[in-house]
Structure formats: C-alpha cells, structure tokens
Chain A
Amino acid sequence: MDALFLSRLQFAITPFIHFLFVPLTIGLAFMLAIMETVYARTGDVMYQRMAKFWGKLFLINFTAGIVTGIVLEFQFGMNWARYSEYVGDIFGSLLAIEATGFFFLESTMIGVWIFGWKKLSAKAHAAVMWLISIATCGSSFWILTANAWMQHPVGYEIRNGRAELTDLKAILLNPAAIYSIIHTVSAGMLVGAFFVMGISAWHLIRKNQERFFTISFKIALVIGTIGLVGVLGGGDLLGSEIAEAQPAKLAAMESHWETTANAPMHLLVWPDVENEENAIEFLTVPSALSILAFKDPNHEVTGLKDIPPEMRPPVAITFVNFRLMVAIGTAMIGLIGFAWLRWKKLSGPTWYLRLLVWFIPMPYIACNAGWIMTEVGRQPWLVYNVMLTKDGVTEGLQTSQVAFSLTVLTILLVLITALVIGLIVKHCRKGPETETM
C-alpha cells in the first residue's frame, strides 16, 4: 500500500459516493420544474404540494451532492498534482467553466428556491427551478467534457512539458463528450423517474393520496421513457466511440480475447483472465459485437491478446460492471414498457408496484457500474495514450497523509450516505403534507 494505491482508492470511493447523488439531482430537478410550471399555469394546488413533497427529497439529496462534490475538485491538486500541472491548461479550464457558469447558478438558486416560496410569484418560483435544472445539465456538460477529454484527448499539443490547448472547438465537439453527455443526463432522468415511480408505487399499494401519486407516477413515467431512449441511443453511440478510441476498453467490456472479423457476442460469458480466454461462452450471437461496435458485421474487433498485458485494463472489473449496467438497463426497458400497459389502473397491491419499490436502488447501481466501467476501463491510462495513472500522482506524497485523508473522508461520506438514505426513507413514508405549508 503506497501513496499511489491509496490515492487511487480514494479517487475510486469519493466520486462513487458523489455519483450516488448526482443522477437524482439531474432527474428530479427537471420533474420539479415541470410540476411547478403546471401549478403556475393551472393554479391546481396539488402540483404545488407535489413540488414541495418531491422538492424536500430533492433537497436532502442535493446537499449531499454539493458537499461530496467539493472533495473532488480538491483531490486533483492534493493527490494528483503532476496530473494537474500537466493537463491543467485544458482539464482545469473545463472545471473552472463549470464552476463559474453553472455551479454558481444552481447553488445560488437553490437558496432562493428554498426560501422563496412566499417571496416569489408561482411563475418566478418555477423559473428558479428551471434555472436549477438547466444548471445541473450545464454542469454535467462541462464535467463530462473534462472526463471525455481523459478518455479521448483531442484539441491539444504537448508543449512546454505539458498538454496545451490548441483547439477548443475540437474539445467541445469531442464525440466521446457528446455521447457520454446524452447517455449520462438521460441516465439521471431514469434514476429520477424510477425514484418517483418507486415511491409513488409504495403509496399506491397503500392507496394513499391516489391522485397525487398517480399523477407523480405518470409524470415520472414520461420522463423515464424519454430518459430510456436517451440512455440506449447515447449508450450505443458511446459504445461505437469506445470501439474507435479505446479498443482495450471495448475488449475488456466484452471479454473479447482474439482479434477477429465477424466478432461474436456471447449472452453468457465469464472471463478466465489467467489463461486469456473465457471460462464460459454460451448463447453466442455471430458477428454481433462487430455490428454493435462498428455497425458492420465484417469489421475486425481487436482482442485482448493483441494488447500487451500491462496495457490492458483490469478485465474482470470492467466486464462485470458493463454486464451489470446492461442487465439493469434491460430490466428498465421491461418495467417502463409494462407501466405503459398499466396506465389506467395504477393502484392497489400488485406485484408490479411492489417490484418497483424494490427496484429503486437498481438504476443507481447501473449508473455507478457504468462509471466504474468507464474509469477502470481506461486504465492503465490516466489520460488515454497521453499519461499513465501512476505518473499523475503527487510527487513526495506520504502514505500516512493519504491514509489519513482516505480514512477520514470515507467515514464521513459513508455516514452522510446513511443519513441521506435514512432521511429520504423517513420523509417518503410520511408522505406529502395535506395542507399547504
């Protein structure tokens, strides 16, 4: 255990926990804006109660997102000083634009939203939530553009011993960025949708405030359906981009060992990393991987064996997380599809509503599995083909220092996660207030 290993562990844990809160913020902000707009336009108080009930859950989650997010910005300089110095010209700028352009907007407006119920008109209050929603999407844009630059660096030149910006347009139009933004923001909508649908289901099983929860459920279902289309479309595009830019990641995702044209895909497969083969290959679809990755059945797909072992990402982790994400995504297609069939009768103790309650954590798991796959699959690179992870760590960093920060931050963030889950469960069970506050 050295400073490098502990720094990596810390940067695995802290964004993982941060990313538990981000997708719900994205999805729920958008739904709250819709609910408040309906209230502002129709004057139906139920929509205001809706915004207040879901808004309370939103705020519990939002705060955790803010305080866990600060940790990330600090860590680049603290643990990854050589990385920061090497790529700050580009990566630092993208983070700074996120802060000045969007993080400011959401953080300022959230205070106005919480304290502004009586001070602002219904329309102005709804507009504030739209600004928050726009800001959350805007933040995602810049953060993911920064991350995409690490996955697929473009628009730079190595000068003066560092990566310097040469083409901002190339960075903003980086396909890795655009596809991951579509995929991730849509995933946020899906997380928000399954969150609202799951909690609504819990109350609908008990026939609590049926109109309130039926309408909440339907709003979520529409947003979730749009999110699902975005997740699948963005994911497909992102897959092709990974195939082009990061062949090692694709091979690890699919546990694909031999370089072949007409590369098949196995529905059931398990990697045997030691012997560089698959222990299980079952239900094989011929040429499927070539088609999915390159839209061409005859296209060659690089296998792991053609990548030197030290240049391969950890195969098992990348593979398992990719499969997990896809499996949950597939389940979501089924659950959303079924919801449309039940549009007219959404109340009562049915197996479907019960399933939805238990399904609430799954989209979160899918999001974080996708994140793990993205980051672990990039290894051993920190910036793909530009800088190795081991070269990015702070020089002279002491193991004891990182052990200290890792321990303290992990304990604190885990406690916060537990607190947030506890508070959300408590307020969900309590249900919406019957009269206006």
Chain B
Amino acid sequence: MTLEMLWFYLWGLLWAIYFVTDGFDLGVGMLLPVLGKDEVSKRTLYNATGPLWDGNEVWLITAGGVTFAAFPKTYAVMFSSFYVALTLLLVALIIRGISLEYRSKVESAGWKKLCDVCQFAGSGLIALLVGVAFANIFRGLPIEDGIFKGSFFGLLNPYGICGGVFFITIFLLHGALWLMIRTDGQLHEKARKLASVLWIAVLAVTVAFLIYSYIETNLYANYLETPGLFVIPLAAVGALIACRVFIGQNTAWKAWFASAVFIMACTFFCIVGLFPNMLPSSIDPAANSITYTAAASSPLTLKVMLGVVLLFIPLVLIYQIWAYTLFSKKVETEQLIY
C-alpha cells in the first residue's frame, strides 16, 4: 500500500466517522416534529444531542479540511462543483446550530417555534444535500479539465435524490436509536416503535440504492474483479440484521452500535467501489476523472499529515468517547439546559 492509497482510505474513514457521529444528531433533529409533541419532549430531544452535536459536526470540518490538505485538487473541484448545494448546506448548518444553542435563550413562543422549524429543516437539508452530493460523485460529475460543466438542478437527478433519501432514512434510524439510549418512559417507547418502522424503511431504501447503484454507477466494478471485497456489503447486511435483533431486545446501545457499523460499512462499500477515483467524471471518464494519485499532495505533506492524524485522531476519539459516556444516561427532564 502506497502513502497515497493509505490516504485515500483515511479520507473515506473520516467521512464514515462523520456520518456515524453527526448522523444521529441530524436524525434526532429530523424527528423533532414526530416525537416532540410538547415542550418537555421537545426539550428532551434537544438535550439528548445538545452536549455532543458540536463535536460531531467538527468531523465534517475535518473531513473537508483533510480533503484540502491531502487531496487539494479533489477539494477544489468538489467544493466548486457543488457551489449552490454547499451554499444551501452552509445555511442549513448555520440555522441548525443557532436553533440548538439559542432556543432556550429567548423567552418567546414564536422564537421557539422558529427554532424548531430551523432545527427540523436544517437537519433534513444537511442529510439530503450530503446524500445527493455523494450519490452524484458515485454517478460521475460533469467535470472537464477540473471544471464543473453541470448545474445545481442537474444534481437533482433520480439517482441523486435516491442518495439523499438513503442518507435521510439511515440518519432517522440512527437518531431514533440514540433517543432509545437517552430517553425513558413514553418517549423511549415511542422511539423504539419508530425505530422498528424506520428499520424496515432503511432495509427497503438500502436494497433500492444498491440495485440503482448497479444500474447508474460503476461502484460494483472493483467487487466483480475481486469478489472477496463483497465481505464489506455483507458486513453492512449483518450489522443491519443485528440492529433489528437489538431493537427487538430493547438493548439500545447495541442497536445504535450496530447502526453505526452499518453506516461505516455502507460508506466503505462506496469508497472501495470508487477506488481509484475520488471524483469520477461523466464526460470522458478516462481523461477527466480525478483519481487519488492525481489529486494527492506532495509526499512530505502526506507524511506530515499522517503524523498529525495518527497523533490527534486517536486523542479526539478518546475524549469524545469520554464525552459520550458522560452524556449517555437518560436525560433528566427536571434539569433541561436547552
């Protein structure tokens, strides 16, 4: 394995961790209208992710930052191609952060309602946009000589939308499972029932996405060449089944963890399928696709950044796991902060 190749998979890993961590707080945000029927249950939902959402979101910043550092060309083409989509993503990220942190700081029913709308819409829009963006990457972007030739509405093709729906659904399940961990009583029961229903939705959308990907993308080429790689989608299937079993047993942590493994395996299924491309082109793919070798930074930068990542990422994981365990107990409804 070369240094560049190692970085390609690290790149995939960082995105996968982002989906696993921010995925559940986005899911909880999207569940707000469903489960937040009164002020106490709404605030319970906010407080269930309140201590962790900010740290989770930094995985997005890090995934973006590492793309910039290790694959500048990919970063440049990716971020400029998705210009309008990313503008909307920024809006979603901003209104979501604001609604979480400022909701309880203004005593006004109208303000709280506005925050709830922003929280729901922001969370949903982030999941949708990230899904649409990645599906379009898998499908191939209209890039020629590193310049995007398409339009924002071109991203909203059926397969792109399917990717968006896929992300929304898996994040919804992931969020419902997190709420099973952090709530008790009625809310817990509701979350559990919802998780069972969402599980079926995830299964259906996953199957649809896998079949659609076979038709629309080149993701399976590497798998057909090296059938041993099918262990990755099999792991995803296994994790999804385990998730259902744990929901049935009402063991919330295990179910959430299984969902996390499922999201990881799905991400890696796509990343491995993408290899060696980072941004396949739909205009003469052989000439215009951006591969990891063409996009990589200099060997010295990759070495320095490898040291940085090997030092800091384990450290980040340690203190984030500490924070997770600190805030893994049931939310006490008499002491709501948000």
Contact = CB atoms under 8 A, between A and B. Distances in A.
B131 to A, nearest CB: 18
B156 to A, nearest CB: 16
B69 A93 contact: yes
A85 B313 contact: no
Interface string B44-55: 000100111111
Contact of A112 (B61, B69, B326): B326
A134 interface: no
B304 A104 contact: no
Contacts of A423: 102, 105-106
Given A108-B320, A119-B326, A412-B91, A78 B297 contact: no
B105 A103 contact: no
A96, A107, A413: most-surrounded residue (chain B CB, <10 A): A96
Interface stretch (A69-77, A353-361, A373-381): A69-77
A92 B58 contact: no
| Chain B contact patch, size range | 35 or more
Nearest to B308: A97
By secondary structure, the B interface counts as helix
Contacts of B50: 111, 114-115
B58 A107 contact: yes
Contacts of A60: 101-102, 105
B312 A101 contact: yes
B69 A96 contact: yes
B64 interface: yes
Nearest to B96: A67
A100 interface: yes
B90 interface: yes
B73 interface: yes
A74 B94 contact: no
B79 A78 contact: yes
A89 B53 CA distance: 30
A168 B305 CA distance: 11
A96 B51 contact: no
Interface string A60-103: 10010011101101101111011011111111110111111101
B251 to A, nearest CB: 24
Nearest to B320: A108
Contacts of A401: 83-84, 87
Interface string B194-226: 000000000000000000000000000000000
A70 B90 contact: yes
B246 interface: no
B62 interface: yes
A98 B91 CA distance: 23
Contacts of B304: 93, 165, 168
A84, A86, A91, A168: most-surrounded residue (chain B CB, <10 A): A84
A396 B87 contact: no
By secondary structure, the A interface counts as helix
Contact of B316 (A91, A104, A114, A394): A104
A424 B95 CA distance: 19
A71 B90 contact: yes
Contacts of B84: 401, 404-405
Interface string A98-137: 1111011101111110111011100000000000000000
B69 A404 contact: no
Contacts of A90: 301
Contacts of A110: 54
A105 B87 CA distance: 26
A404 B85 CA distance: 11
B122 to A, nearest CB: 11
Contacts of B102: 60, 63, 419, 423
A190 B61 CA distance: 29
A408 interface: yes
A164 B76 contact: no
A99 B61 contact: yes
Nearest to A396: B147
A108, A109, A419: most-surrounded residue (chain B CB, <10 A): A108
B309 interface: yes
A103 B308 contact: no
Contacts of A74: 64, 79, 86, 89-90
B286 interface: no
B47, B68, B298: most-surrounded residue (chain A CB, <10 A): B68
Interface string B286-311: 00000000000110110011001100
B94 A77 contact: no
A70, A119, A159, A395: most-surrounded residue (chain B CB, <10 A): A70
B87 A95 contact: no
A413 B312 CA distance: 31
B72 interface: yes
B323 interface: yes
B333 interface: no
B301 to A, nearest CB: 5
B64 A73 contact: yes
Contact of B68 (A67, A96, A408): A96
B91 A88 contact: no
Given A88-B72, A107-B57, A67 B298 contact: no
A111 B65 contact: no
B80 interface: yes
Nearest to A83: B76
A73 B301 contact: no
A226 interface: no
Contact of B335 (A118, A395, A408): A118
A397 interface: yes
13 contacts: A74-B90, A78-B83, A84-B75, A92-B297, A93-B308, A99-B61, A100-B66, A107-B57, A116-B51, A394-B83, A396-B80, A409-B90, A427-B105
Which 10 A-B pairs have CB atoms at the shortest separation, nearest pair first?
A: A88-B72, A77-B79, A92-B68, A108-B55, A96-B65, A111-B51, A96-B69, A81-B76, A81-B80, A63-B101
Given A96-B62, A165-B301, A404-B87, 4 more contacts: A76-B75, A84-B68, A99-B61, A395-B147
